[in-house]
């Protein structure tokens, strides 16, 4: 496998990783909770506890953050792979130019 092939493969993997990361972040941003956010039938008095979020809502929010973190991780890995592919490819171009000039 040549350096050019390796560069193309890394760049392609990076691009796919970027696309997956962008979709995961978009899912986190666009998704909306459709259930009840707060517990019902809580007595109202001066010593009452603060309003409590439902377990279902807490789980929904936790999944959103997991999608966001995974998406940002995929984006970071993808961009790093594309950068690495470019850094690998540049020296091979320089060596081709030098060889052709001789």
Please state the three-class secondary structure of the chain as a single string.
CCHHHHHHHHHHHHHHHHHHHHHHHHHHHHCCCCCCCECCCCCCCCCCCCCCECHHHHHHHHHHHHHHHHHHHHHHHHHHHHHHHHHHHHHHHHHHHHHHHC
Number of domains in the chain: 1
> Residue 39 falls within a domain, yes or no?
no
State pTM to two decimals: 0.72
> Residue 77 falls within a domain, yes or no?
yes
Q: Which helix (H) or strand (E) holds 49?
A: none
What range does the domain containing 92 cover? 3-32+53-101
pLDDT at site 73: 96
Mean pLDDT for 23-52 is 79
Mean pLDDT for 42-53 is 69
> Residue 38 falls within a domain, yes or no?
no
Give the pLDDT confidence of 49-79 residue by residue, as tens digits.
Answer: 677 888 999 999 999 999 999 999 999 999 9
> Residue 15 falls within a domain, yes or no?
yes
> Residue 44 falls within a domain, yes or no?
no
């Amino acid at each position: 496998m040549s350096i050019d092939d390796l560069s193309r493969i890394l760049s392609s993997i990076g691009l796919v990783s970027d696309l997956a990361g962008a979709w995961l972040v978009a899912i986190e941003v666009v998704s909306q909770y459709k259930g009840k956010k707060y517990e019902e039938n809580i007595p109202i008095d001066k010593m009452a506890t603060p309003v409590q979020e439902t377990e279902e809502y807490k789980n929904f929010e936790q999944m959103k953050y997991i999608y966001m973190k995974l998406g940002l991780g995929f984006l970071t890995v993808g961009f790093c792979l594309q950068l690495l592919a470019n850094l690998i490819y540049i020296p091979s171009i320089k060596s081709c130019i030098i060889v052709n000039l001789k």
